[in-house]
Amino acid sequence: MCTYFIIENEDSDNSRIKIGFSRAPNDRIIQLQTGNSRKLAIMGWVETADQSHEKQLHKKYEKYRLNGEWFSIEPWNVLDELKTESTSSFICVQANVGEFLGCDNDAVPEYIGPWEWLDTEIDEFCPQCGWGGGVHYNSALGLENCLRCGYPIFNNL
């Protein structure tokens, strides 16, 4: 079970975010997309035992409530909530994570980050499984591994 965050982001100036609760957020988004002409995307989710986390967030963002479970909150609010629950939270990782974007003005190479909506730090969310629980430094290999999936994390993502 989880608290999930779904964004309706066809129009980025007028997006809204749903804070909901589901056993299977990927099934839920298919249900929600049916009958909604705007494109929906899962931003992330927090694994929970029950609905209390969702209820707590609905109360916290009450003044931003548009209707039902839809809120006029921003991606950084979602990121804050995911970070707060880091050991049980996941971001939805972009398909093209790690793709080379080009070099910035200081000739530093830039790559597409894991999250579509905001930049995240490399040690905050795993670029493979999206988990927010952290990394373990592997001294034998001289790199960091995601504590959940073992993905080797390099500092160029």
Q: Which is nearer to Zn ion, 11 or 150 (CB)?
A: 150
User: Rounded to whole angstroms, how far apart are CA atoms 49 and 61?
Assistant: 21
Q: Which is nearer to Zn ion, 117 or 131 (CB)?
A: 131
Q: Which is nearer to Zn ion, 70 or 151 (CB)?
A: 151
The H or E element spanning position 30 is helix 25-33
Q: In angstroms, what is the minimal distance from the CB of 148 to Zn ion?
A: 5
- Chain contacts with Zn ion (rule: CB under 5 A): 126, 128-129, 131, 146, 148-149, 151
Do residues 31 and 18 touch, judged by C-beta distance below 8 A? no
Q: Mention every residue, 6+ apart, whose C-beta is less than 8 A from residue 12.
A: none
Q: In angstroms, what is the minimal distance from the CB of 39 to Zn ion?
A: 27
Q: In angstroms, what is the minimal distance from the CB of 15 to Zn ion?
A: 27
Query: Distance between the two ends of the chain, CA-based, in angstroms?
Result: 30
